[in-house]
Structure 1
Amino acid sequence: MSAQAKRQAADGGGAMLVLRIVLPVVVLGLGLLAWELVVRLNHIPPYVLPGPVLVLKTLVSDWGVLSRSLLTTLLTTLEGFLAASVGGIALALLFNQSRLVEYSLFPYAVILQVTPVIAIAPLLLIYLPQQTAVVVCAWIVGFFPVLSNTTLGLNSVDRNLAGLFQLYGASRLQTLRLLRLPSALPYILGGLRIAGGLSLIGAVVAEIAAGTAGAGSGLAYRIAESGYRLNIPRMFAALLLLSLAGIVIYGLLALVSHLALRRWHESALGKES
């Protein structure tokens, strides 16, 4: 490829990157403008539908309360996510080393996944301390994606490479460390990206089920409390913080995935071309 062609390709890639950033921002701005106009022109009261300007003002004025609740929810999400990550990867490694263990325990992991967490949360709150129950709910919804993706990745190793390792007399530990884990890394990181958002959802559901006020209340309780008091602007402000938290969590995990895969895996190499 000539130098001119490379420059044209780089310019085209830069233009596409700008479009991917600018277009969503433009659409968001137009949506917010339309929302504000609808509220103002129809004189909709704030307790029915607040405009985005009022929501932002409420976010600023109530930042002291909302920020503490945000930290509580994020801490719960982080604890549940870490537990789901460590537990899911560890159990998947155990499954890969023992089919007997996989056949014995995997159906129960599926049952745990398909049971709605909103139905489990009240039961957990009976038998566990409140904070522990909330973390367990966050762990439940984030655990299965990590387990299933890691298991799939460990079982998707190229058979020719596995045969080559066997031919050279590699031990099971060497095969796991040098072949299966690197091959499964894209699957593991994909499962972690899914688990990050799901852990936030689990924490929110559990906080709503707990419904306990106080300094340790999360954003979910603030949303429910605002609904009871018809403080709809604060409800929207709390929802905005939850949405932003989910976007940041996904963005950070996507960045980690890109940095880990950018030099060798096709999914990341394509983004840099």
Structure 2
Amino acid sequence: MTAIDDIALKLDPEEARRARQERLERIGKWVLPLAIMVLAIWLWDRICVWNDIPQYILPRPGVVLQTLHSDAGLLFSSLLVTLRITFLSLLLAVIGGVGLAVLFAQSKWVEMSFFPFAIVLQVTPIVAIFPLINIYVNNQTVKLLLCAWIVAFFPILSNTTLGLNSVDRNLRDLFKLNGATRWQQLRYLRLPAAMPYFLGGLKIAGGLSLIGAVVAEFVAGAQGQSSGL
């Protein structure tokens, strides 16, 4: 038996152990969350039974499933309203955030002048802004859309602005040395460099737009059975 054969025999058990470990990790990635969910539902049901909690305070899982089945049409139509507000606000946040970020990248003076107002808008609670929106905007859908947009707008603006300004100075000088215009620098250098930052902001804004839509619906109050969540 050669030295190569000895090495192969030593590597085979190690490779087999590593393969088993990877297989267990793949299975555990699905099984463990499902097991935790089942355990949580069981505890939820047992807590309701053991403490004799009234259904109007904390319904049992079976009651929740029964209600979901019996009121499926109403809940689905309300869900569509909320999702429509969510996706429209996210789309407007992408358009407005990327557009302003490009404008900020073209002029440092514009960024220094307007970016602080975006920060103030972000840190102000939406429940404090909504009364003003409620006074000046008559359309209910526009009210909800505006509230959800305010919540989702800033992550895209800030991340895209950071990405556009994070371009390597040497690459920027190389483009200038080759006579690239500001539009060419933006299109071929700064926008591709900002894409990872934009996607990170989009990931955050996607969740915030849904939260903003739901919070806006609660603050605005329901008007009809299909006005949303």
Matches within 5 A, 1:107-256: 107-128=116-137, 129-219=139-229
Of 93, 101, 107, the match for 2:110: 101
RMSD: 2.1
Q: CA deviation at 1:215?
A: 4.4
User: Which amino acid is the alignment partner of residue 192 of structure 1?
Assistant: L
- Which of 43, 46, 59 is matched with 1:37 structurally? 46
- Aligned pair 1:76/2:82, yes or no? no
- 2:68 is matched with 59
Instruction: Give the TM-score taking structure 2 as reference length.
Output: 0.87
**Partners of 1:121 and 1:134 within 8 A in 2:** no
Divergent runs of 4+, >3 A: 2-15
Cα 1:145/1:6, change in 2 over 3 Å: farther
Give deviations 1:161-217, integer Å, cap 9, x for gaps.
223222322222222111211111111011011111111111112211221321441
Gap regions ≥5 residues in structure 2: 1-7
Name the CA distance, whole Å, in 1 between partners of 2:225 and 2:111: 43
Equivalent residue, structure 2, for 1:18: 27
Specify the structure having the higher radius of gyration (Cα): 2
Quote the Cα distance in structure 2 between the aligned partners of 1:43 and 1:170.
73
Displacement of 1:8 after TM fit? 7.1
How far apart in 2 are the matches of 1:108 and 1:60? 46
Compare 58-67 and 36-45 and name the one that shifted more. Answer: 36-45
Corresponding position: 1:49 with 2:58? yes
Change (3 A) 1:44 1:183: same
**TM-score, normalising length: structure 1:** 0.74
Q: Percent identity?
A: 54
**Unmatched 5+ stretches in structure 1:** 220-273
Distance 1:161 1:127 in 2: 48
Find the aligned partners of 2:24 and 2:188 in 1 and give their Cα distance: 39
Quote the Cα distance in structure 1 between the aligned partners of 2:77 and 2:19.
Answer: 44
Code of the aligned partner of 2:97 = G
Question: CA separation in 2, counterparts of 1:160 and 1:11?
Answer: 47
Structure 1 residues 19 and 158, CA gap change in structure 2 (3 angstroms):
farther
Aligned length: 218
